Amino acid sequence: MRLLVVEDEPDLLTGVVRALRTDGYSVDTAIDGQDGLFKAESVDYDAIVLDLMLPKLDGWEVLARLRRTKHTPVLILTARDRTSDRVRGLDTGADDYLVKPFDVRELLARLRALIRRGAGQSSSALELGEVRLDLAARTVTRGGEAVQLTGREYVVLEYLALHRGGVVTRTDLYDHVFDENDNTLSNLIDVHVFNLRKKLGQDFIVTLRGQGYSIR
């Protein structure tokens, strides 16, 4: 899953990005509202973490302009803890609001919930035949037995599972697995899918030639 973090405090930005990448996310960053809005409008992120007090364009304005064209889940991460600020943030279009200082575990849990809801998935458990994904624990079992996946394999599987029944193009999958700083060759998507089929069954992921991949 690909996230955007818009935050101008260097140490906090570094810490949040490190935690998100350790948890398997691909992360883009922006240190001012203008750049943040440009990226948020240009890329279909799975979720956005947005500070309010930003240079060039504050978080309120970023959110208001973004909501004119996109429904990307947005979590406001700010030191502004007044009830009026929370109300304003949610009424402007934020999906969640977390006050600094915060526990990284709570940030990760809130983002997982936003991504699930954004994909129309209310439960943290996905049952796909004999394959079960625990989206909270980020674990996979097949027939009750644990399946060991690499971080990238899990992200590819999670994205396909959240869009089960539809067709996911290779380009779309690539855009949600790798971030702006990743120069990895796109044919690695095929490698990850190949490895997932070996672990979960050859027919688990269907290839629709000229269209993409699907979990039916």
Looking at 3.40.50.150, 1.10.10.10, 1.10.3430.10, 3.40.50.2300, the CATH number of the domain 125-214 comes to 1.10.10.10
Q: Is 159 helix (H, G, I), strand (E, B) or coil?
A: helix
What is 2-118's CATH topology?
Answer: Rossmann fold (3.40.50)
209 pLDDT above the threshold of 90? no
pLDDT of residue 50: 97
- 103-127: per-residue pLDDT in tens? 999 999 999 999 988 878 778 888 9
Calpha distance 89→74 (Å, rounded):
10
Torsion over CA: 99, 102, 107, 113 (sign): negative
- In this prediction, residue 176 has a pLDDT band, given cuts at 50, 70 and 90, of confident
- In this prediction, residue 174 has a pLDDT band, given cuts at 50, 70 and 90, of confident
In percent, how much of the chain has pLDDT > 90?
62
Calpha distance 165→54 (Å, rounded):
40
194 pLDDT above the threshold of 80? yes
Nearest to 47 by CA among 20, 83, 18, 9: 20
Asked whether this chain's domains 2-118 and 125-214 adopt the same fold, the reply is no
pLDDT of residue 23: 86
- 28-64: per-residue pLDDT in tens? 999 999 999 999 999 999 999 999 999 999 999 999 9
Nearest to 35 by CA among 14, 71, 4: 4
Measured at the CA of 117, the angle between CA 73 and CA 135, to 5 degrees, comes to: 110
Residue 31's φ and ψ, nearest 5 degrees, are -110, 5
Average pLDDT over residues 176-184: 76
Please, are residues 37 and 65 in contact by the beta-carbon 8 Å criterion? yes
Calpha distance 160→156 (Å, rounded):
6
Beta partners for 213? 168, 207
Domain ranges of the chain: 2-118, 125-214
**What are the C-alpha distances in Å from 109 to residues 75, 93, 124, 165, 188?**
12, 20, 11, 26, 28
